[in-house]
A and B are shown apart, each in its own frame.
Chain A
Amino acid sequence: MKKFSNILSFSLAAKLAFGGTSPSYDVTGIPNPPSKFGTKQIDGLDFLPDGRMVVCLPSGEVFLYNSKTADWQLFAEGLHNPLGVIAESNTSLVISQRPEVTRVSDTDGDGKADLYQVMTDEFGMSGNYHEFHFTPVRDKEGNYFFSLGTGSSGDGIRSIVRGRFDPRGRPGRMHASTPYRGCVMKLTKDGKTIPWSYGHRTPNGLGFDLEGNLFVTDNQGDWVGSSKLFHVKEGRFYGHAASLTWKPGFEGTPVETNPAELAKMRTRAAVVFPHGSMANSPTQVLAISPEANFGPFTGQLLVGEMNTNRIVRVILEEIGGELQGACVPFIDGGSLPRGCNRMAWAPDGSLYVGHTKHSWAGGEGISRVEWNGEDPFEAVSMKLTKTGFRFTFTKPVDSKIAAEVANWPFKRYYYKYHKSYGSPQMDVTPVKVDSIVISNDGKTVEVNLEELKAWHIHEVRVQNMKSADGTPLANSYIAYTLNRLLENTPPDPLHVSGAAEPRKKAAGKPAKVVDPVGAVYQVTEAKLKGVRTSTEHDGYTGTCYADFGTGKESIEWTVKSAKSGSGKILVRYAMGSNARPLKLIVNGEEHSILPFPETGGWSRWKDLTASVAFRKGDNLVVLETNGASGGNIDHLQVIEPKR
């Protein structure tokens, strides 16, 4: 028995050392709804007034769950990618699906929806897959807000589009060629549809704070150096260019506009989530309401994260008339799956999380996160002072550790604003701590810095921190988006790049010295069936690379071999995440399924090698999709048989 408890305490310590989920929160799984298609991805989640949970699935199915009996019941089906739901009553739901906001009701009381009413479809659809229609939310007055994703250059548009096509919105990496793509929309309680804010790229998640302020997240990409949280106000522009096509008074083609002009128009994010360390694809925003039973964080915001198994906590304050603040990992790792996409408070005050992925990095299923009543040791807040930041903790800190300057390694940096994808951290600078003042109750620590620089993110990974009673700090990484200072804020430096130093594409110029042993066959020399060519990501050789879609697509090279016998092919490719296997067919015979694992980014190219039997003369080498998409293929190199 003694032995067993030793092991237990060891594993608990290990978990804490690796910064796992706070020990004050338990994550458990909920059985999946009985989808007839077997899907376990959850794209919308809410609670009915009677306490049942409602979930929407990508298959268009909507299920109700009674947690007392653990019974699932199919309520509606056939919807088009429903990505959010509000339960208006026990028999009526408001659902965001690709073409509409729809009220789905059971009017005859048989437990199944029979009426699907358009609440609004006054927005366009180009048919591009990336034009998602995200969450509806409702304010206290009964107005609805929803958000419209932009189209991706991962594909084009359809032959018939809904709504007025405007070619000004079409160019660019992410496009908005039909009305209001890239906008947050308002549907007033009397039925008017209004574009409410502009400049969004992938606004997968709206939410209100307890004061009724509206927030929306955005995902890293073109014009978005790192993922963000915006405080949404009417008529504002938040940075992604494409939707300006639909902003009254904006003339010209958004992506061709001088970025400095756009930067002057844009409203900065309230919070930037540092890419790779805080969040890569933030999702829904949910305030920790007084009804939630979730510990000492009431009024703060939760933001889901798609890419990793994390829910982030956001702490805001108003400085210089605008909201800004800090983000900190909260429910993190442990048994929480990835793909935290939708969240809602259950009647018992616990948090339910729907997980999804849609072929991106993510997860599936439903989680319940419950506070076990013990106070976690966490930084409740991080607030700006004139000379640094004031941290408030849930418990008195170990004052010896907290007073040690070396335990507060601050650094600051910014992200570029430009039309390229993402941004590195720019001007990364360590910030020296001048002094540390701990309050008498031990709960507040003021960290005074040598310099506070406006329009920069200030982050710290607090080292060795323990409470006075010896509890390690559950989450020690915290990043504050310092836009405005308490006084004398300098003008926004815009942080534009691209206009003065346009990014050069190495068109026609090999980016890599190719192994001279074998002939290189570019994709432009191949027969492309369905596969399109692209130049979006750098590092390819020749003039372009081939970008596989999800249909039955192939690249067919006719390559020469002087001899028959066993040789090799090298496929140069890039794979952003996961793996997308392709079928290799040589001279009509299926050779193998090549795995094409992740290369670490879409601009990182690697060779995949396969041994093949060549014929003398022409050989047909085919890469074909295997039921899903493939990666980006740069070229094929042929190492002919030696003997």
Chain B
Amino acid sequence: MIDLHHDFFAHGICGRDNRWSFYLVDCQSALTSFPDMKAIISILLSSLVAGMAYSAPDAAALAKGKELYDGAGSCIACHMADGKGQPGSVPPLAGSDWLDNPDRTIAIVLRGMAGPVKVNGKRYYSAMPPQLLFDDEKIADIVTYVNNAWGNKCAAVTAAQVSKARENLPPDVYTPEAILKAFPFEKKLRRNNGTFTPDFDDFLADVAEPVVYRTFMPGASPAAFAVALPGNQYYCWDAGECRLRYAWSKGGFIRGNQVHWSSNGKPVAKFNGIPYYLARSSKLKPEDYQHLADTGRKTPLYDTTEAVDFPIEIEGVDELPKYRGYRLIQGFPEFIYKVGDYEIRELIQASQGNLGITRKFAISPKVPITFKLTPDEAATYSSSAGTIAKDGTLKLSAKQAMKFQITISEKNPASPVTIPTEAPKK
């Protein structure tokens, strides 16, 4: 479905730009016979050409643009190599209706935009940071590349256009309302593109203190926690299996929780980002993941009495862990659970620089343990004691296991959004 949608816009909308460039050529040839009008119309044209003319982009510009997109620009980290973005958080560039006007694209790249936006009919929540590092030519190359990658066929952009925009645009990061006022969509595109009013918890991000909700979360037993940490780190902890299920950082905290409890309690919470850490779940097959938010099943994929992925192994103890509760320490929940006679405490905070999370463990009485982390392409691991093997195994002596930390860092951390205090100079 999505691909069809994209195809339609890639060919339909940008194809229209082609037709309009022919029209402009006709006008220009006609101008020679009406010299009086020339001055007026050329002013009009100069503003129109930027938005509407389509000419085959320069191959060198495309190559430079791609290099910046994949590399120094870090565009790829959020918008992804295929330009499809991330569901709910980062809007797509491939087939995006928002590329209909290069002036708007330049404005968003130069000044950034923060707020809820609707792109091709879908809702997205994350913020686009202003690109302050690049000169006019580089910005032009990036936009030209984006406008013509993944089947896009939109106008190439020149350094002169970028330069002019840099001089004329207001200094602030755009809100969706402001960008839509300055660069409105045509009527045809308005239904599926624009902004919207989020619910209270639709856009809960940048919390000053931890937010703890017990609610239904996708990919966890029904006894789940959703926690937002200062530093825009979010995680799901499953009291049904006494373990961290996943962590994410992009796109804000969970959405729809308010609907969950104000209604009869049916909806499972949603969130926008993609977890950068997903705990081992050997009871699940890859195809199961798309069903983890289902509520309408006849039978479960598994029940918690069959759970096998509790990450802390203690020799001679093979019973399932028992969740005992949590204590709030400066607002951070410290989970308390027991395996056999051993009590484990786990407190999770954003790690240094908010690049991931640090899990602080305490185990008593003293006992050696084996901790099983889940190797994951999107995260790296470190521990305060012992060495984490390639397969994610961490063996700790009894003394080490009394108190230790494990830090999980995202390989492509979310870009911080900074609001410039004054207009960037050329």
Contacts and interface: CB of A to CB of B under 8 A. Distances in A.
B263 A358 contact: yes
Interface string A1-24: 000000000000000000000000
A156 B296 contact: yes
Interface residues of B, number: 47
B210 to A, nearest CB: 10
B297 A116 contact: no
A427 interface: no
Given A60-B214, A170-B298, A159 B223 contact: no
A438 B292 CA distance: 68
A37 interface: yes
Contacts of A100: 223
B240 interface: yes
B16 interface: no
A162 B212 contact: no
Interface in A58-115: 58-60, 77-81, 97-100, 102-103, 113-115
Nearest to A78: B212
Interface string B316-359: 00000001111111000000000000000000000000000000
B301 interface: yes
A421 interface: no
A414 B288 CA distance: 49
B269 to A, nearest CB: 11
A411 interface: no
Given A80-B215, A99-B223, A125-B223, A117 B303 contact: no
A130 B302 CA distance: 20
A550 B325 contact: no
Contact of B303 (A103, A160, A170): A160
A171 to B, nearest CB: 9
Contacts of B34: none
B266 interface: yes
A156 to B, nearest CB: 4
A178 B303 contact: yes
A126 B265 CA distance: 13
A158 B327 contact: no
B32 interface: no
Given A159-B291, A160-B221, A165 B259 contact: no
A81 B258 CA distance: 11
Interface in A157-184: 157-165, 167, 170, 178
A549 B323 CA distance: 32
Contacts of A471: none
A629 B223 CA distance: 24
A162 B240 contact: yes
Nearest to B283: A160
Interface in A18-49: 37, 39, 41
A391 interface: no
Given A99-B239, A550-B259, A156 B298 contact: yes
Interface string B258-301: 11011111111000000000000000000010011111111111
B258 A160 contact: no
Nearest to B304: A162
B213 interface: yes
Contacts of A628: 263
Contacts of A629: 263
A358 B259 CA distance: 10
B118 to A, nearest CB: 14
Chain A binding site: helix, strand, loop or mixed by DSSP? loop
A206 to B, nearest CB: 20
Contact of A159 (B215, B288, B305, B327): B288
B292 A162 contact: no
B394 interface: no
Contact of B264 (A114, A118, A130, A161): A130
B303 A164 contact: yes
A159 B265 contact: no
Contact of A155 (B213, B223, B258, B266): B266
A538 interface: no
A165 B303 contact: yes
A602 interface: no
A163 B305 contact: yes
A442 to B, nearest CB: 50
Nearest to B307: A160
A358 B213 contact: no
A158 B294 contact: yes
A60 B325 CA distance: 16
A181 B141 CA distance: 62
A359 B221 contact: no
Nearest to B270: A551
Nearest to A119: B325
A158 B214 contact: no
Contacts of A162: 221-223, 240, 303-304
A160 B301 contact: yes
B212 A77 contact: yes
Given A80-B215, A358-B264, A160 B297 contact: no
A157 B216 CA distance: 12
A121 B264 contact: no
A81 B265 contact: yes
Interface of B: 200, 211-216, 219-223, 239-240, 258-259, 261-268, 288, 291-305, 323-329
Interface of A: 37, 39, 41, 58-60, 77-81, 97-100, 102-103, 113-118, 121, 124-130, 132, 154-165, 167, 170, 178, 358-360, 532, 549-551, 627-629
8 contacts: A99-B214, A121-B323, A129-B265, A154-B266, A160-B292, A162-B222, A163-B304, A178-B303
Given A99-B222, A121-B239, 9 more contacts: A77-B212, A79-B214, A98-B265, A99-B239, A114-B327, A127-B268, A164-B305, A165-B299, A551-B267
> Which 7 residue pairs spanning A and B have beta carbons closest together?
A80-B214, A129-B266, A99-B223, A127-B222, A156-B296, A117-B325, A125-B222
